[in-house]
Amino acid sequence: MRMQRIWLVMMLILFAPALVQAKTVLASGAGYRSVVDDLTDAYTHETGNEIERIYGNMARIVAQARSSGNVDLLLGDVIFLEQAKLPFIAKQVLGHGRLVAAFPKGSSFNGIQDFLAPEVKRIAIPDTTRAIYGKAALQYIQNKRVYEEVQPKIMMVATVPQAASYVIAGEVDFALINLTHARKIKDSIGGYTIIDEKAYSPIKIIIGQLETKSGTLSSETFLQFLRSDTAQEIIARHGM
């Protein structure tokens, strides 16, 4: 009996790792946190499967996916992910991003001319080299031909949520962020205005599946969920 118990313990030690299913890891641009949280929560509610989430600017999460080898799914704009040249085995369109001008309580935004007002001192935008909405914000200002006048007022920060936090605190006059995040914080700010979509390049949001050690089955299950009516309703609700 003693030998049988020892054998059983040894077998459990050897095979226990195979009995524990690793969580699917999804890395996403920080500006999509609200929609990703709602999607993954709904997925877990329906299936019982959990998704581990990582957020940051696109450059950071792409670097993390490349170096760690533990990121199963990567969510962001199609141009950035294609330029990253990661070994995706599947891609799926999630929706389209839209740029908005968010403003503190007691204020408003009626067009680019508002940026030129002498009382406007600071305009927060995400990093123009690392965040897609920073790139879009810069394109918008340049294409409206006001860059020279507006540039001294620009306060560049790392991510969309950081830009938004300055609006919430009333420390900037405006922030150029994405619609999805603006909807998340709408009760904490004065409001937001969707800006001219012709003044910046279209933003297509995709989710890419990477081949990882944890396998592809759970990732494929989540991608299937994203095509469901439940997921599509959540995506639409977040303005994508």
Share the mean pLDDT of the chain. 89
Tell me, what's the pLDDT at 14? 43
Q: Output the six-digit token pair for 201.
A: 């390049």
φ and ψ of 155, to 5 deg: -115, 110
| DSSP 8-state class, residue 48 | -
Handedness of CA 229, 186, 204, 158 (dihedral sign): negative
- Which residues in the chain belong to E strands, given as ranges? 24-29, 51-56, 73-77, 88-97, 99-103, 123-126, 154-157, 174-178, 191-194, 203-210
Residue 15 has pLDDT above 50, yes or no: no
* C-alpha to C-alpha distance for 162 and 30, rounded to whole angstroms: 9
Domains 2-96+204-237 and 99-199 share a fold: yes
Largest CA distance in the chain: 87
- Are 209 and 219 in contact by the 8 Å Cβ rule? The answer is yes
Identify the CATH assignment for 99-199 out of 3.30.565.10, 3.30.450.20, 3.40.190.10, 3.40.50.2300: 3.40.190.10
**What is the architecture, at CATH level 2, of domain 2-96+204-237?**
3-Layer(aba) Sandwich (3.40)
- Closest-CA residue to 174 (of 189, 187, 159, 196): 189
- In this prediction the pTM is 0.76
Whether residue 163 is predicted with pLDDT greater than 90 in this model: the reply is: yes
| Domain ranges (residues) in the chain | 2-96+204-237, 99-199
- For residue 136, the SS3 value is helix
Cα dihedral sign, 190-194-195-201:
positive
Torsion-angle region of 106 (φ positive above 0: left; ψ -120 to 50: alpha; else: beta): left
Share of the chain above pLDDT 90, in %: 71
Q: How confident is the model at residue 240 (pLDDT cuts 50, 70, 90)?
A: confident
